[in-house]
Structure 1
Amino acid sequence: MSSAAPKVSTLPPEHRERLMAFAEDVHFESGHRLFEEQQHADRFWIVKTGAVTLDAKVPGRGSPVIETLRHGELVGLSWLFPPYLCQSGAEAMTPVRAYEFDAPAVRSMCRSDAEFGVSVTFWVGAILAHRLHVTRVRLLDLYAPHGSGILA
């Protein structure tokens, strides 16, 4: 499997500090749905403790788990890119403590401070590229015919 997605600690310290100024502590019980596909993305989270699963609806196949996110990982990517609609679902696999962020407020800061905005956009973009790869591999693992050579 590929390397882990970049965590918030990869942001330059001054940008991480600025982002964390928006953070609010939240707690989710196991089984709580943070968001569903096509839901408006007005919040995002960074996991402090516990685990959050990302799932994707596959017609006729249910919603397989694509990835499990843990400490320091970003939950929610669609908040940064129009039309701000979630592209997956997310559920607390265990009790979760997280930092929650108001997406419109962070987007506003990204627009008003170009250096901060570029830093956050590159961080989220790197995570997006990682998740796209993980999703592709997971769906091929689940649904490609065995021995089809699709990953060759």
Structure 2
Amino acid sequence: MTTASDLLAAHPFLVDMPEQHLLRLSYWCRRAVFQPGTRLFNEGSKADRFWLIREGEVRLDARADDDGDIIVETVGAGRVLGWSWMFPPYRWRFGATAMSSVLAIECDATGIRGLCDADADLGYDLTRRMTCVVIDRLQSTRMRLLCAAQATTPDQP
């Protein structure tokens, strides 16, 4: 039988994390399945969990006044869904909807923040990994912004 710590160790986000950290994290994690169209969270709501995506895709979106939601990014297998849980005020910056059947590891944010506070080594390791997720999202957003700006800028002679 595959244990929670085995599932965590197999996810690219946690590759090479020390086994004792994986065991402590596993207490706060569980398997999750989402059907296509399931709304995982809404922009501005409480960020009390995050997910390690094992299979499937989740769409991140942002509110755009009366124009509906704008798709910001798609998060798929091997990636992390959610970083807002780690930084005050612990509110989602985007919304998220399953685009296909999704298998994930759902992690309890409050419990894991407590682990990070109690164990500086684990806290540093997880913060370093989550910072890479945030940087990746910012870089992706930057590239989309540059592409959009080029598409709307008239050609210069």
Bin for the TM-score computed over the shorter chain: 0.7 to 0.9
For 2:124, the equivalent position in structure 1 comes to: 118
Aligned with residue 97 of structure 2, among 91, 94, 98:
91
Aligned with residue 18 of structure 1, among 24, 27, 37:
24
Query: Matched residue of 2:43: which SS?
Result: coil
Moved beyond 4 Å, runs of 4+: none
For 1:3, the equivalent position in structure 2 comes to: none
Shift of 1:145: 5.4
Hey, what's the Cα distance between the residues in 1 that align with 2:145 and 2:152? 15
Return the letter of the residue paired with 2:114: S
Shift of 1:17: 4.2
Unaligned stretches of 5+ in structure 1? 1-5
Given the superposition, is the C-alpha separation of residues 51 and 84 from structure 1 closer, same or farther in structure 2, using an over 3 Å criterion? Answer: same
Moved more, 88-97 or 132-141: 132-141
Hey, what's the Cα distance between the residues in 1 that align with 2:97 and 2:145? 19
> Which structure carries more relative contact order (alpha carbon 8 Å, separation 6+)?
1
Aligned with residue 148 of structure 1, among 131, 145, 153:
153
Q: Deviations over 1:55-104 (max 9, x none)?
A: 12234543222221112211110101110010011110101111111110
Given the superposition, is the C-alpha separation of residues 98 and 17 from structure 1 closer, same or farther in structure 2, using an over 3 Å criterion? Answer: same
More helix as a share of residues? 2
TM-score (ref. length: structure 2) = 0.80
CA RMSD of aligned residues (A): 2.2
Hey, what's the Cα distance between the residues in 1 that align with 2:83 and 2:28? 16
Return the letter of the residue paired with 1:38: G
Alignment of 1:1-40 (within 5 A): 7-10=12-15, 12-14=17-19, 15-40=21-46
Matched residues, percent identical?
38
For 1:103, the equivalent position in structure 2 comes to: 109
Q: Deviations over 1:6-36 (max 9, x none)?
A: 9413452333443234221111110111111
How many aligned residue pairs are there?
A: 143
Hey, what's the Cα distance between the residues in 2 that align with 1:67 and 1:26? 21
TM-score (ref. length: structure 1) = 0.83
Which of structures 1 and 2 has the bigger CA Rg?
A: 2
